[in-house]
Amino acid sequence: MRIDEAITEVEKYLKNYDTNKDTEYLEDEAGYEIKGSRAKLALLRSIVPSNLTPAQIREAQLDLEEFKNIMDGADEFSTFGRLLSINQGLPGKAEDLEGTLSKIKKIITKREKDLGLVNKDGVLTSTPDERYADIAGGMFDPIKWLQDEEYQERVAEYYDKLKATLNIFGIVRKLPHFKSMF
């Protein structure tokens, strides 16, 4: 289980804390036991004490939110490093180039997902400003971003609305060695 999935499970457990702390297993909508729910609840009970007050539950929920924000910021710094590596040249092999461009494209879609702007299928839950229609909801084109200065500006503007800590597209766009490459 990934850390973000684990955090989501703890959040769900805390949201229904009074029910979950005394339940043997979780049920689906039809009332059937969800496979693996006994083990999941046992694990969650080993992490979350069984005697939390409402104030302690709220404090734990706020701590989880803060931890998620820290993780989002760390993801941005990691991605920033990936973008900075472009100045060493794009990969020569087609599959390496495709992987690099795919990672760049996922930067925006991941933040949209983190902020709840897209559903689990990647479809926008609200219509973005018309100016960002060719960027939002999986439409971001990293090749166009590398080549088109006006597109770079709009991507930086859009990402500024999504960022956790820093606007990596805005920063990279201002670097002289990045501008001289394209």
Give the model confidence (pLDDT) of 43-70 as tens digits.
887 878 878 888 888 888 888 887 777 7
- Is the pLDDT at 154 greater than 90? The verdict is yes
Reported confidence tier of residue 178, pLDDT bands at 50, 70, 90: low
Question: 33 in helix, strand or coil?
Answer: strand
DSSP label at residue 48: S
d(CA 110, CA 137): 10
Between the alpha carbon of residue 109 and those of residues 96, 103, 161, the distances in Å are 20, 10, 13
d(CA 49, CA 125): 36
pTM above 0.75, yes or no: no
In this prediction, residue 47 carries a pLDDT of 79
Reported confidence tier of residue 106, pLDDT bands at 50, 70, 90: confident
pLDDT in tens, 20-31: 777 888 787 888
In this prediction, residue 89 carries a pLDDT of 53
What is the share, in percent, of the chain residues with pLDDT greater than 70? 82
